[in-house]
Structure 1
Amino acid sequence: MTTTRTFTGATAPGPYTTPPTAADPYTYQVGFGNRFASEALPGALPVGCNTPQRCAYDLVSEQLNGAAFVSPRASQLNSWLYRIQPSLAHAPPRPLLPAAADIEAVFTSANPAAVATPQDYGWDKFPLPSASEGHVDFVAGLKTVAGHGDATLGRGLALHVYAANASMGPRRAFCNNDGDMLLLPQEGRLDVQTEFGRLMARPGELVVVQAGIRFSVRLPDGVGRGYAWEVFGGHFELPELGPVGANGMAQARDFETPVAGFDVDLASGWTVVVKLAGRLIEYEQPHTPFDVVAWHGNYAPYKYALERFVSSATSDRDQSDPSICCVVTARCGDGVVADLLVFTPKTLATRDTFRPPYFHRNMATELMGMVYGVWHGSGTRLEPGGLTYEPSYMPHGESHQRWIDATTADLGPERIFEDTIAFMIHVSAHVSLTKYALERSGCLQPVQDDVWRDVEPAFVRHLGALGGEPAAEP
């Protein structure tokens, strides 16, 4: 007897969200640049109207913009939030004392605390706060290392490091009005509560919190160290794929945005610290800023696991440009483009080529850091939690011994960057270093000596073929 089974009309029980894990208890919506909709209470989002006369649950509607109203539809960024109390319910702002001496937002010659230099530099792992420094949270542990442009003009970027030994709070939030901020934890997870919901980021993941969004950082592992890249006047985007095709590199479906989650706190005093033009200003309010019951839009925080990056190996011969390693890119005004490149495990199978990074003088400035693993470049010393700086148009590359090894090796398939994540911020402009980085960080490496000093070029052994006097074999 034959049994025929039919099944029609199967429907998903709800939209897809990621499942929680032991390391991350939160769920996320997936996609990059989506227009999401999320509600923590059923019916909290209005239908067909952003500002009804009276919102469900007597919530307050509030719009947050990341682009001008007249921006083209493709670049329009905004979200609508439905919250318990409006954001404007706060006391007048006041300067935060003492001032944040190690945060900078202007990197022109007008700022004596930021210096453009043609010298390459390296920093060992930036230190965690000592016991004598007391409790240092994310905001207090934020230090500017380098940057370009001016936050007040909405053009440029800054690279900070953070080192903290305490969570923010319990009733303290931060809001960066200077630009979007990309956080890369290197040691310790970041439990980030935002107005849009919660994110957990471990070393190997990045988090982006856009300008104007209030958030708080807790340290579930007791300490936190990492990098914070900030862009002024622009936003992080996915790079074009070009001949790579429809797939590869950082895939949009691997970016994760929080679902709505809210607290009710109408009896406690909260402090919100705002960064504006590199200065810290604070204001008090008698309610939590994390009271958004529902929201919709495409201006929202997100995270991404760098291990998911789909690496492209180099070609059959010769090298591909490092742009194949680009995760996100940002336009920072006046044609300045900055890319986040990530170096993750991949296999090389090129023939008859120089496999290490070739010698180059690049119009871009290179700021390189490391999350975990071992870096094998000989022209620089880099460890997890450290940083290197290669200035625009200045030559850099490998040592003479590395050159000898690379030009005489038997080439075969080779696995590189195993158990390693390193990154580079590629900036198509000059970058200035701060006085903190050069004088107060405590981890600046001595300037590296000339790695090719006293090396006689191998070319001189061929002078006999040109009618000259050949040099003796070494």
Structure 2
Amino acid sequence: MKLRYDYQYGFGNHFATECVPGALPVGQNNPQKCAYGLYAEQLSGTAFTAPRSANQRTWMYRVRPSVDHGAYQRVSFAERAPGLGFRGQIATPERLRWQPRDDAAPDRTADAADADTDTDFLRGLFRIGENGLPEDRNGLSIYSYWCNTSMDGEAFYNADGDLLILPQQGELVLQTELGMLEVPAGHVAVVPRGIRFAARVVPMSDTTSTSRGFVLEVYDRHFELPDLGPIGANGCAAPRDFRYPLAYVDRDTLQSSWRIWAKFQNQIFMYETDHSVFDVVAWHGNYAPFAYDLDRFCPVNAVRFDHMDPSIFTVLTCRSDEPGVALADFVIFPPRWNVQEHTFRPPYFHRNCMTEFMMNLAGEYDAKSAAGFPPGACSLHSIMSAHGPDLESFARAATEQLRPKRLPDSTLAAMFETSRMLRITKEALELLPLDRTYTSCWRDFPPATIPSS
């Protein structure tokens, strides 16, 4: 797919970009007087004293300083983000699955407008589960989203943590303070804590303009590339393939009125400005939004026998305080060859010390039937809750002739895996399209025949 914008590349690089020649200071961060009367502003993503290898910050040179805005106003969830409201959360070890969201009314809350109302990214964001508290900088949330209109004259930032945005259908263009970032289905984007952005929906046809997908929010630290260990220097997600925006200013909206929405301690606030927040003429640093084409992931796999652990397919990780244990991993199951001998090739039956949130992004997932787990569906298997292939998939894989098999390019699944237990929201159980027959897919497995002694 050809991208419409130009980018700079390299995961975690220190970038420098300007859309007006001479706007970027040379040799210093905050001159006494910036070129063209611009204002120097630093955005810190880590503490000043964080080790240099982990320190993240960006200097921006903008038309108006960010401090120039009206007072924050607390806004009810029903008014702006009904899917984030706390109707209540419950603890359950039950295996859960949701069918794809669409433009029908069932997944809208009773407090939201009727089914004809346009739904932008923020209004269409529904929290499925959460662990921890953002005010403690500890934990995460998982969401699904569906939207059919762009955020015009509005922007959003999340003070609670980083957002990993994964479109499953349709395309988003994220207009961020640091530039434009397009995110079609099959790509993933990360917007770090505090960076303001507007999600714009790209029309799929003359009559259809929708996007749906999933979001992972982490309250602590930032996403990074996983260590490769004995895999070596190459393979998996290559740093050179991560793209970052170039400085971009929409001159037509510089003097227009905007509403800025903020999520702070899991509450929604709003302030107004008489100018655009997308007015950064130049910036330099390493704290910035980025995107990645999942088709560029180079998978490694078993080439003789046995099914390898899914950690070999990790694209991004957010570490916890315990070495080797992630707060959250973003994992994909991409097109690849399966060549294992005398092996049950799909994912095995499993009870895990981690929580697994699975998403089918395209095609048929090899451990579930296409009818039960179509593209856009998702499932949640909590810590120590047994899961694995359904009866139909097991029967097929246990008897098929084991020739080298190519999982086609039309297939793609993904997983958010976390070491935390999630509380499930009532919104997810009552308003999203929950599959109430899910656990029946594991019924009627025939018992093994044990020879008599």
> Above 0.5 in TM-score?
yes
Aligned to 2:353, the other structure's residue is in SS state coil
- Which of 31, 34, 51 aligns to 1:55? It is 34
Contact 1:129 1:163 (C-alpha < 8 Å) held by counterparts = no
Q: Is 1:143 matched with 2:118?
A: no
**Counterpart of 1:224?**
211
Contact 1:39 1:294 (C-alpha < 8 Å) held by counterparts = yes
Matches of residues 155-194 of structure 1 in structure 2 within 5 Å?
Answer: 155-169=138-152, 171-194=153-176
Matches of residues 219-258 of structure 1 in structure 2 within 5 Å?
Answer: 219-221=201-203, 222-258=209-245
Partners in 2 of 1:164 and 1:99 — Cα distance? 13
- Closer, same or farther: CA 156–409 of 1 in aligned 2, 3 Å: same
Contact 1:64 1:79 (C-alpha < 8 Å) held by counterparts = yes
Report the count of equivalent residues: 434
**Counterpart of 2:81?**
100
Q: Is 1:299 matched with 2:279?
A: no
Aligned to 1:166, the other structure's residue is in SS state coil
1:142-183 residue CA offsets vs partner (Å, 9 max, x unmatched): 1101122111111111111111111111x1111111111111
Give the drift of 1:449.
Answer: 2.4
Partners in 1 of 2:22 and 2:448 — Cα distance? 75
Give the drift of 1:445.
Answer: 3.5
Contact 1:400 1:452 (C-alpha < 8 Å) held by counterparts = yes
- Closer, same or farther: CA 266–343 of 1 in aligned 2, 3 Å: closer
Give the drift of 1:112.
Answer: 7.1
In our comparison, the structure showing a higher alpha carbon Rg is 1
- Closer, same or farther: CA 390–266 of 1 in aligned 2, 3 Å: closer
**Counterpart of 1:365?**
355
1:24-78 residue CA offsets vs partner (Å, 9 max, x unmatched): 3100001100000001111111112101100111110000011001101111000
Q: Which amino acid in the other structure matches residue 120 of structure 1?
A: R
Q: Is 1:72 matched with 2:51?
A: yes
- Which of 371, 389, 413 aligns to 1:422? It is 413
- Closer, same or farther: CA 92–454 of 1 in aligned 2, 3 Å: closer
Give the drift of 1:446.
Answer: 2.6
Stretch moving more, 272-281 or 257-266: 257-266
Partners in 1 of 2:3 and 2:397 — Cα distance? 42
Unaligned runs of 5+ in 1: 1-20, 105-110, 467-474
Give the drift of 1:337.
Answer: 2.3
Q: Which amino acid in the other structure matches residue 239 of structure 1?
A: P
Q: Which amino acid in the other structure matches residue 210 of structure 2?
A: V
Contact 2:346 2:366 (C-alpha < 8 Å) held by counterparts = no
Partners in 2 of 1:185 and 1:449 — Cα distance? 29
**Counterpart of 1:470?**
none
**Counterpart of 2:110?**
none
**Counterpart of 1:262?**
249
Aligned to 1:295, the other structure's residue is in SS state strand
Partners in 2 of 1:26 and 1:258 — Cα distance? 8
Stretches of 4+ aligned residues off by more than 6 angstroms: none
- Closer, same or farther: CA 333–128 of 1 in aligned 2, 3 Å: farther
Matches of residues 3-402 of structure 1 in structure 2 within 5 Å?
Answer: 24-97=3-76, 98=79, 100-103=81-84, 113-128=88-103, 130=105, 132-169=115-152, 171-221=153-203, 222-264=209-251, 265-331=253-319, 336-378=326-368, 381-400=372-391, 402=393
Matches of residues 402-417 of structure 1 in structure 2 within 5 Å?
Answer: 402-417=393-408
- Closer, same or farther: CA 112–200 of 1 in aligned 2, 3 Å: closer
Aligned to 2:440, the other structure's residue is in SS state coil
1:102-144 residue CA offsets vs partner (Å, 9 max, x unmatched): 216xxxxxx7722221110100001225573411111111110
Q: Which amino acid in the other structure matches residue 398 of structure 1?
A: P
| Percent identity of paired positions between Structure 1 and Structure 2 | 39
TM-score under structure 2 normalisation? 0.91
Partners in 2 of 1:422 and 1:442 — Cα distance? 19
Matches of residues 423-462 of structure 1 in structure 2 within 5 Å?
Answer: 423-449=414-440, 451-453=442-444, 455-458=446-449, 460=450, 462=451
Give the drift of 1:417.
Answer: 4.7
Contact 1:178 1:211 (C-alpha < 8 Å) held by counterparts = yes
Aligned to 1:82, the other structure's residue is in SS state strand
TM-score under structure 1 normalisation? 0.87
**Counterpart of 2:206?**
none
Unaligned runs of 5+ in 2: 106-113, 204-208
Give the drift of 1:200.
Answer: 1.1
Partners in 2 of 1:390 and 1:139 — Cα distance? 26
Q: Which amino acid in the other structure matches residue 290 of structure 2?
A: Y
RMSD over aligned Cα atoms: 2.0
Partners in 2 of 1:285 and 1:442 — Cα distance? 38
1:184-241 residue CA offsets vs partner (Å, 9 max, x unmatched): 1112111111010001111001111111000011112121111111111221100001
Contact 1:59 1:82 (C-alpha < 8 Å) held by counterparts = yes
